[in-house]
Structure formats: structure tokens, C-alpha cells
């Protein structure tokens, strides 16, 4: 019951970051094939510069319920979407002319697994039926240019738009701060591309979402949820392929796999897609190793199917005769995650025995991995 | 005396005739005018849906060196494992005529996820071919046989910079000299005797840089214009003495695109990585040259492609890691006249009032650019691999390459019909 009440709070809080009412969810463009951007309408592409929301590293949403007897925060790192600024920003028009967001319900986390389950379940936001919360920017008002230095501009403004949660459309409005940061050698340390940062905070009443608190949890869930939004956006799409060794079609499919598995947190659809993709790349060792590697290391994946990972890693090594240090290191890691220490150490040592031709930095990582596995194997015995 | 004079005149005329190329050529980076325009005519107004007629294509290997040609032979470079390869192909058939290789193992401090080049484009001068590899191995070869006549290892000899991703700028001739960027620890730019390879001059020290130098006439004097890091420089190409120098914002130090001369005295530079485009006027006052910035436009950022001047405006493919717009920029004000999506990062050629666009995904397009906008007439996917190399247009024949293949296309009217191709017509 405790969890159930919390869920209602979160349901309310997530949507809350922009308030408004009445646009159908269809107004928010669908995800791209890879799933990390939205299919932006042509007419919006032609009116300005597009900044894609950059998911993954930032805590983009923090929704806090601070009640008398309990304080809970829900976060998401997997918000995607875009904002469009005019090509030439003038005093006569707002610095934002379009925008839309998709917030995967499966990406919302409290830090408590049971709470998450209820939050995303049928009693909560019902991810199975309504996998995403959406927002479409409708208008911008009260724009003030606060600072303009070295082409870095900061505006305060009011955002208004339509938020759709469980097919319910709400009109929301909130004050916001918009920063436009040109690409510099300093910003490049974070992201290559021009940056846009949108921050807003607002309070959202549960009653506005027509969500009822069970009476017995009246004091454990706040009536008003505080919503804190920070979206880093970039003119470089998060789907941009920078590694020339990767085939574009494989890049798209691997991203789609991750979108299903990690962002939408849908292991059934994710692994179904993954198995089909594995069949496609069955004779491509680097592609198999990439899939295995990302499934092992991506923090956002809640359901890690190690037999799936092992299949990919094993095949990558079979194709290369168990002689590629990088692929062997991945294979060792799979066995390490499975706590099968003997096999893990066997392949980790084999990896270090095949370092000829491997770049020094990478060779160092492989040696360090062996040391880590050895330590963990020792710890497990103790 | 009169008889002798006329005999001499006739001999001189004959000698000139033999020196004048019998068919169109593309001897250097940027073509005849080093600005990616040429005087070709007879280009088709539209192409078939699947693109212009392919005359031949053949595998070549990785590398981004552009193609130069004397009309008979095509020259370019590619990479073979840890070696640079200099290649000559028959322009008519695409058959390889010769290949010369030399060892050029990468240095540990290089960034090689995009390969080790070669990026620099060979240079033809008479019977000599000059090349520079990614590790700054500078060579002069006999163009007919590929025999090396002289060579320099400029990292060893002058502390030249490999620019992390492999040396990229393309050399240029001036009188009996061949001039190239050096960068690194010793000198900014150096000139060598074409016949012996002897060093003729070294400039003061500048940082290395990717833009290829060009030679222009300002105030009736020759200026070697080069962009090296944050320096925009004019040198006397005969001596290497600095005529003028402007140091720009450090954000513009990542310049890769070649400068563009706007006669009589303006020079256009464009830079990606958060940079922009600038127009400088080179003024001569009180016996000294000075570069004065006329305008700066942050919205046009050409990465490693080229810019084309068409009348009073410039067209370039603007963008680095984000979207690449084709942008038209007004030269007098620096204002963006138009921008168009639809192409990945692209290189451009201009001939016969037509813009030829090749984007990095291998789409080739034919367009008309005016101050009002860009009209694309035809577009086709012609290359499969990363296509960063600006094509070469000789007559109506377009030579192009990606990271794997080299090919010849016929852009002429009625392509495929007899006589539509200048080279074939000549033969």
C-alpha cells in the first residue's frame, strides 16, 4: 500500500513539468527508427535550428513528494525530444518556436525497486498500456533576455503546452530559463555541438491529474509535487554515428534494441528485437561484441539477460578463433557477471596473452580488468 | 633579321602550343583557379534518376586525397596498411598505370579513428608530381613512371606537424617553387625548388593547419594566403616574408577549409567546431599590409569541405557534428541569404552555371544556386563509403572517389552519345 500511494505522487509529478491542456498525443512526433530522437515535422525543421534532448547523463527530471511522514524522489535520465530556435533570434520573436518531449514511464526510478514496480504498473502510470508521457510546446511568452555575453544568451520565459499522461491531456504552464551556449573548446568537453539548456521548476497538484490518494497514506504523499526539470539539448543528434567502423544500419538497430530494453524498460520486446538482430549479425564479430559490451555495461538496463550476452560474446570469439583480446575481455566479463570465476579468469588471462597489436590504453584496461576479476574471485572465496 | 625574328616567333609559338595542354586538366587542389570552379561547358541540366552515366569505376583503397589529372592520367593517394600509396590511373579506362608505396607507420600520438589519410591532394607541375602523405613525407615523382625524383621527411627534417589526424593541406606551385604548410616546431610554411627539392625559404614559425594555401594578387603583388591555427596570414611567395597577419579568436583555430579569394582584396575564411565565417579586407597603407575583418557570421561553419563564390554570394556546406545546411551567404554583408537541409556534409564544384554537390554519404547532386535559393535538379547515390573527397571535373567528365572506390561519370548533355565527353572527343 505504501508503494501504491507513492506511485500516485509520481504519476502526478512526472507530467507536471509543463502544464496546459487539450492537444492530442499524436501531436508529439513519434520516435525515430533508432528511438533516441523524434521524427521532427518538415515544417519545423525549416524554421530554425533543432536542438535534440540529450538523454543518458543528466538527471533530467526530479519529482519530489515531501510529505509529513515520507519524502520520495522520482528521477529520469531518458527523456528525449527537441526544441527549435529561430535561425536568427531577434527581439521580435520568442527564442523557442517548437518543441516536444517523450518521457518513457519505464525510465522513472525512485531508487526503491518495489516502488518502481508499482509506479510503472497498472495502479500507477501503467507503462504497459501507456509507455510514454508526452509534452508538446504550444507557446512561449514573457520572454526576457537576461544576459548576452560571448554569444551565450540566457532568457527567462514562460512555457505553455500540452502534457499527456495516460491519455489524459493537461494544459500546463511554467516559468523557465533558457540558455543558448555556442560550441566552444570548453563545451566540447561535454558535448560537441551547440547547446541549449532548459530549466524549469513547478509545483503540481495531484488533484489536477485527478489522481486520488488513498486516505491511509494521506500523510505519506504530498498533495503538491515539486517538479524540477533540466534538459541539456544539442544540435548534434544523440543518434549521430561518429565511429566510422560501425555500419549505419547496425548502429540504428543496436540503438533501437537499447531503446526498447533500457529506455522503455520492455525486456520482452527488447530481447525479441535483440534476438532478431543477433541473427542478422551472426557472422559479424565486432557487431556481436558491441552488443555484448553495451548490454554488460549500460547502467540503465534493469533486465540483463546474461545468456543472451554470452551467446553474442561467445560467437564473436568463435569467429575470431579466441584470439582477439577485446572480444576475450568481453567474454571474461560475461562469466564474471555470472560469478563463474574459473571461466572468467581463464578468458581474462587469455585476453592479456593476446595483447600484441592492441593500443596501450586498451591493453591497460584489459590488464586492469583481469586484476579486478581476480580480486572479485578471491573475495567470493573468502 | 626580320626573317630570324619571325622564325623565333614561330618557334616560340610552336613551343607554346606544345606546352598548352591539348585537353582540359585539373592539376591541383581546387582545380584550375584553385577555387573549385572550372570553365567546363556542356553539362547536362538534369541526370537520369539513377544518376549520371558511369564510365568506369574501380576499387582504390582508403584515403581522402582528391584527384588531379593532366587529361591522360589521374593521380591520387591511398593507404595500404602502414604505407602510403601514390597512384596513377588511365583517365580513359580507369586502369592502374603505376603505384608507388613507401612506409609511413602512424605515430602513437595520432588520432586515427578516421584512418591515416592520406588527406593531401597531389600537385602536377610539368612532368613532376608532388605529394604529401599523412606523416608529412613529401615526394616529387616522375608522373609518367612514378619514379621518386627527390623526397623529404618533413617531420624529421623540419619538425612538421602531422596535425593529429594526418597531414592534410595540399601543396601549391609558385614560379619554380613548390610551397606547403609545415607547422610544428620549426617553421609555418616552406618552399622547395621543384627540380632539386632544395629548401628555397622558410617562413616564420606558425602552428600547423589543414587549409591549403593559395596565391592571389592584391595591390599588384603576389600573396600566399594561408590559415594556420588562429592565424590568417599573407606571405610573399617568393621569399616567405610575412606581408600581413591577423590573429583571430581561438575558437576559429580549428579551421580546415581552404580560403577563398574575393578580388580585388578580400579573403573569405570559414571554420567549423563552433567557428564561423569571416571576410577580411587586405588593405595597403603607409607601405604596409593589414588584414581588417569586414564581418563575422557564426551561422556558416564549413568543416573540411570547400566554399564556392558565385557572383556576390558564397555557398558552403555548414556544419560539423550536427545537421549540415547548404548556406548561401551575402558577401557584402555576411548575412545568410538562404539555408537548405537535405544533404549531409558536402563538398562543392561550380561549372557551367551549375553547382555540383557531393555529400559525405555519397549523394551527388546537380543544382542551381542564386541569391534567392538553391534549386536541386537531380540527385543520385553514387558512392557507398565515406565521401569526403571533393570531386574533379575535367570537361564534362567527373572523377570522384570515396574511401573505397574511384570512378568516372559523364555529366555531359546527352551523356552516352558520341562526342559528349571532352576527353574521348579529343582522342
Over the stretch A136-158, which tens digit does the pLDDT of each residue have?
999 999 999 999 998 899 999 99
Nearest to B178 by CA among B189, B167, B194: B194
User: Which of B113, B299, B322 minimises the CB distance to A87?
Assistant: B299
Provide the ipTM.
Answer: 0.83
Q: Which three cell numbers stand for residue B307?
A: 566554399
Q: What is the pLDDT of residue B272?
A: 94
Q: Give the distance from residue A140's alpha carbon to the nearest chain B alpha carbon, in angstroms.
A: 24
On the question of pLDDT at A347 being above 80, the answer is yes
Dihedral sign from CA coordinates of A307, A312, A318, A322: negative
Residues 6+ apart with CB under 8 A from A214: A1, A4, A5
Buried b (16+ CB within 10 A) or exposed e, A124-136: bbbbeebbbbbbb
Chain B residue numbers with beta carbons less than 8 Å from the beta carbon of A242 are 321
Chain B residue numbers with beta carbons less than 8 Å from the beta carbon of A237 are 322
User: Which of B113, B321, B336 minimises the CB distance to A240?
Assistant: B321
B109 and chain A: CB distance < 8 Å anywhere? no
Over the stretch A241-277, which tens digit does the pLDDT of each residue have?
888 889 999 999 999 999 999 999 999 999 999 999 9
B108 and chain A: CB distance < 8 Å anywhere? yes
Q: Which three cell numbers stand for residue A273?
A: 528485437
For residue A179, the tally of other CB atoms under 10 A from its CB is 16
CA–CA dist A115, B385 (Å, integer): 49
**Is A234 in contact with B322 (Cβ distance < 8 A)?**
yes
Q: Give the distance from residue A374's alpha carbon to the nearest chain B alpha carbon, in angstroms.
A: 30
Q: Is A99 helix (H, G, I), strand (E, B) or coil?
A: strand
Residues A98, A213: contact at Cβ < 8 Å? no
Q: Which three cell numbers stand for residue B286?
A: 603607409
CA–CA dist A111, A6 (Å, integer): 12
Q: What is the pLDDT of residue A218?
A: 77
Chain A residue numbers with beta carbons less than 8 Å from the beta carbon of B250 are 185
Which of A89, A184, A238 should one mutate to test binding to chain B, selecting the residue with the greatest count of B CBs within 10 A? A184
Nearest to B299 by CA among A42, A179, A180: A180
The residue whose grid cell reads 521524427 is: A39
SS3 readout for chain B: CHHHHHHHHHHHHHHHHHHCCCCCCECCCCCCCCCCECCCCCECCCCCCCCCEEEEEEECCCCCCCCEECCCEEEEEEEECCEEEEEEEECCCCCEEEEEEEECCCCCCCCCCCCCCCCCCCEEECCEEEEECCCCEEEEEECCCCCEEEEEEHHHHHCCCCCCCCCCCCCEEECCEEEEEEECCCEEEEEEECCCCCEEEECCCCCCCCCCCEEEEECCEEEEEEEECCEEEEECCCCCCEEEEEECCHHHCCCCCCCEEECCCEEEEEECCCCEEEEEEEEEECCEEEEEEEEEECCCCEEEEEEEEECCEEEEEECCCCCCEEEEEECCCCCEEEEECCCCCEEEEEECCEEEEEECCCEEEEEEEECCEEEEEEEEECCCCCCCCCCEEECCEEEEECCCEEEEEECECCCCCCCCCHHHHHC
The residue whose grid cell reads 581546387 is: B30
Residues B350, B36: contact at Cβ < 8 Å? yes
**Could you say which residues of chain B have pLDDT below 50?**
1-5, 7-8, 12-21, 416-427
Task: Name all domains of chain A by residue range, CATH numbers in brackets.
Answer: 2-234 (2.40.128.110), 248-381 (1.25.40.10)
Kindly state the helix (H) or strand (E) to which residue A61 belongs, with its residue range: strand A61-66
Over the stretch A10-69, which tens digit does the pLDDT of each residue have?
233 333 222 222 334 448 999 999 999 999 999 999 889 999 999 999 999 999 999 999
CA–CA dist A163, A7 (Å, integer): 18
Q: What is the pLDDT of residue A221?
A: 77
Q: What is the dihedral of CA B2, B8, B14, B18, to 10 degrees?
A: -160
Q: What is the pLDDT of residue A382?
A: 77
Residues B175, B191: contact at Cβ < 8 Å? no
pLDDT over 70 percentage in chain A: 91
Q: How confident is the model at residue A211 (pLDDT cuts 50, 70, 90)?
A: low
Residues 6+ apart with CB under 8 A from B280: B232, B246, B266, B267, B268, B269, B291, B292, B293, B294
Q: Which three cell numbers stand for residue A198?
A: 532548459
Residues A280, A253: contact at Cβ < 8 Å? yes
Omega cis (within 30) before B118: yes
Q: Give the distance from residue B275's alpha carbon to the nearest chain A alpha carbon, in angstroms.
A: 8
**Is B274 in contact with A183 (Cβ distance < 8 A)?**
yes
CA–CA dist B399, A310 (Å, integer): 47
Residues 302-331 (B) with a CB less than 8 A from some CB of A: 320-323
Give pairs for A145-152: CB < 8 Å, separation 24+: A145/A91, A146/A177, A150/A182, A151/A182, A151/B298, A152/A179, A152/A180, A152/A181, A152/A182
CA–CA dist B321, A122 (Å, integer): 41
Q: Which three cell numbers stand for residue B413?
A: 548533355
CA–CA dist B83, B69 (Å, integer): 23
CA–CA dist B332, A44 (Å, integer): 30
Q: What is the pLDDT of residue B204?
A: 96
Nearest to B415 by CA among B402, B392, B398: B398
**Is B274 in contact with A242 (Cβ distance < 8 A)?**
no
Q: What is the pLDDT of residue B369?
A: 98
Q: Which three cell numbers stand for residue B78?
A: 591511398
Interface A-B: count of C-beta contacts within 8 A: 47
B336 and chain A: CB distance < 8 Å anywhere? yes
Residues 6+ apart with CB under 8 A from A280: A253
User: B31 in the Ramachandran plot: left (φ > 0), alpha (ψ -120 to 50) or beta?
Assistant: left
Q: How confident is the model at residue A124 (pLDDT cuts 50, 70, 90)?
A: confident
Q: Give the distance from residue B290's alpha carbon to the nearest chain A alpha carbon, in angstroms.
A: 25
CA–CA dist B81, B61 (Å, integer): 10
Q: What is the pLDDT of residue A14?
A: 30
The residue whose grid cell reads 592584391 is: B218
Residues 6+ apart with CB under 8 A from A2: A70, A217, A220
Q: What is the pLDDT of residue B22?
A: 52
Q: A236: nearest CA in chain B?
A: B322
The residue whose grid cell reads 524549469 is: A200
CA–CA dist A85, A98 (Å, integer): 7
CA–CA dist B89, B97 (Å, integer): 5
CA–CA dist A181, A149 (Å, integer): 10
Q: How confident is the model at residue A217 (pLDDT cuts 50, 70, 90)?
A: low
Nearest to A138 by CA among A158, A118, A123: A158
Amino acid at each position: 500500500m505504501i508503494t501504491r500511494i507513492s506511485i500516485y505522487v509520481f504519476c502526478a509529478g512526472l507530467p507536471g513539468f509543463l502544464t496546459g491542456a487539450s492537444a492530442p498525443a499524436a501531436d508529439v512526433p513519434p520516435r525515430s527508427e533508432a528511438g533516441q530522437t523524434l521524427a521532427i515535422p518538415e515544417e519545423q525543421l525549416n524554421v530554425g535550428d533543432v536542438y535534440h534532448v540529450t538523454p543518458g547523463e543528466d538527471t533530467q527530471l526530479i519529482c519530489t513528494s515531501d510529505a509529513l511522514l515520507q519524502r520520495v524522489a522520482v528521477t529520469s535520465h531518458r527523456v528525449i525530444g527537441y526544441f527549435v530556435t529561430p535561425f536568427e533570434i531577434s527581439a521580435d520573436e520568442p527564442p523557442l518556436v517548437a518543441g516536444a518531449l517523450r518521457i518513457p514511464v519505464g525510465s522513472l526510478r525512485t531508487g526503491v525497486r518495489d516502488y518502481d514496480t508499482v509506479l510503472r504498473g497498472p495502479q500507477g502510470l501503467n507503462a504497459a498500456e501507456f509507455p510514454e508521457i508526452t509534452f508538446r510546446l504550444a507557446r512561449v511568452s514573457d520572454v526576457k533576455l537576461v544576459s548576452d555575453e560571448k554569444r551565450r544568451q540566457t532568457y527567462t520565459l514562460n512555457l505553455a503546452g500540452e502534457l499527456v499522461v495516460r491519455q489524459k491531456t493537461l494544459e500546463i504552464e511554467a516559468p523557465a530559463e533558457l540558455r543558448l551556449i555556442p560550441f566552444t573548446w570548453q563545451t566540447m568537453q561535454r558535448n560537441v555541438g551547440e547547446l541549449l539548456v532548459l530549466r524549469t521548476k513547478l509545483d503540481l497538484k495531484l488533484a489536477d491529474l485527478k489522481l486520488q490518494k488513498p486516505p491511509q497514506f494521506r500523510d505519506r504523499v504530498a498533495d503538491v509535487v515539486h517538479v524540477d526539470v533540466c534538459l541539456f539539448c544539442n544540435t548534434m543528434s544523440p543518434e549521430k554515428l561518429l565511429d566510422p567502423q560501425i555500419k549505419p544500419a547496425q548502429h540504428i538497430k543496436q540503438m533501437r534494441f537499447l531503446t526498447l530494453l533500457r529506455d522503455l524498460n520492455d525486456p520482452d520486446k527488447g530481447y525479441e528485437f535483440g534476438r532478431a538482430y543477433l541473427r542478422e549479425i551472426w557472422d559479424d564479430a565486432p557487431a556481436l561484441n558491441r552488443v555484448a559490451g553495451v548490454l554488460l555495461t549500460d547502467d540503465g538496463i534493469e533486465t540483463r539477460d546474461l545468456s543472451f550476452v554470452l551467446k553474442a560474446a561467445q560467437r564473436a570469439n568463435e569467429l575470431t578463433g579466441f584470439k582477439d583480446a577485446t572480444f576475450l575481455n568481453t567474454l571474461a566479463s560475461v562469466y564474471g557477471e555470472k560469478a563463474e570465476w574459473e571461466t572468467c579468469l581463464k578468458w581474462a588471462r587469455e585476453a592479456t596473452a593476446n595483447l600484441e597489436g592492441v593500443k596501450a590504453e586498451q591493453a591497460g584496461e584489459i590488464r586492469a580488468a583481469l586484476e579486478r576479476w581476480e580480486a572479485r574471485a578471491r573475495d567470493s572465496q573468502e | 633579321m626580320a626573317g630570324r625574328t619571325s622564325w623565333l616567333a614561330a618557334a616560340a609559338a610552336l613551343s607554346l602550343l606544345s606546352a598548352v595542354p591539348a585537353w582540359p586538366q585539373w592539376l591541383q587542389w581546387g582545380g584550375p583557379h584553385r577555387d573549385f570552379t572550372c570553365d567546363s561547358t556542356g553539362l547536362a541540366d538534369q541526370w537520369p534518376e539513377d544518376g549520371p552515366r558511369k564510365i568506369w569505376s574501380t576499387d582504390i583503397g582508403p584515403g581522402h586525397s582528391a584527384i588531379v589529372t593532366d587529361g591522360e592520367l589521374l593521380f591520387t593517394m591511398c593507404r595500404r596498411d602502414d604505407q602510403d600509396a601514390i597512384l596513377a590511373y588511365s583517365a580513359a579506362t580507369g586502369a592502374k598505370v603505376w603505384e608507388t608505396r613507401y612506409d609511413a607507420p602512424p605515430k602513437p600520438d595520432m588520432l586515427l579513428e578516421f584512418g591515416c589519410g592520406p588527406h593531401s591532394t597531389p600537385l602536377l607541375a610539368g612532368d613532376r608530381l608532388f605529394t604529401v602523405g599523412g606523416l608529412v613525407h613529401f615526394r616529387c615523382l616522375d608522373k609518367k613512371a612514378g619514379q621518386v625524383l627527390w623526397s623529404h621527411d618533413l617531420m624529421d627534417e623540419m619538425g612538421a606537424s602531422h596535425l593529429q589526424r594526418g597531414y592534410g593541406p595540399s601543396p601549391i606551385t609558385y614560379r619554380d617553387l613548390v610551397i606547403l604548410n609545415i607547422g610544428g616546431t620549426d617553421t609555418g610554411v616552406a618552399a622547395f625548388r621543384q627540380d632539386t627539392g632544395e629548401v628555397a625559404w622558410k617562413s616564420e614559425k606558425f602552428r600547423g593547419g589543414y587549409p591549403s594555401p593559395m596565391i592571389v594578387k592584391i595591390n599588384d603583388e603576389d600573396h600566399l594566403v594561408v590559415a594556420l591555427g588562429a592565424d590568417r596570414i599573407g606571405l610573399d611567395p617568393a621569399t616567405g616574408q610575412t606581408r600581413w597577419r591577423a590573429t583571430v579568436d581561438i575558437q576559429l583555430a580549428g579551421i580546415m577549409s581552404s580560403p577563398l579569394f574575393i578580388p580585388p582584396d578580400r579573403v573569405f575564411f570559414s571554420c567549423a567546431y563552433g567557428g564561423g565565417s569571416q571576410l577580411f579586407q587586405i588593405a595597403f597603407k603607409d607601405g604596409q599590409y593589414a588584414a581588417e575583418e569586414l564581418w563575422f557570421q557564426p551561422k556558416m561553419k564549413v568543416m573540411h569541405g570547400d566554399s564556392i563564390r558565385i557572383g556576390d554570394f558564397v555557398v558552403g556546406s555548414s556544419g560539423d557534428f550536427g545537421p549540415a545546411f547548404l548556406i548561401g551567404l551575402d558577401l557584402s554583408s555576411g548575412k545568410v541569404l538562404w539555408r537548405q537541409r537535405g544533404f549531409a556534409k558536402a563538398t562543392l564544384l561550380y561549372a557551367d552555371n551549375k553547382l555540383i554537390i557531393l555529400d559525405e554519404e555519397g549523394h551527388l547532386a546537380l543544382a542551381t544556386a542564386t541569391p534567392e535559393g538553391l534549386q536541386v535538379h537531380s540527385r543520385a547515390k553514387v558512392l557507398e563509403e565515406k565521401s569526403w573527397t571533393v570531386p574533379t571535373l575535367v570537361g564534362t567528365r567527373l572523377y570522384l572517389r570515396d574511401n573505397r572506390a574511384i570512378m568516372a561519370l559523364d555529366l555531359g548533355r546527352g551523356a552516352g552519345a558520341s562526342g559528349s565527353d571532352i576527353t574521348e572527343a579529343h582522342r
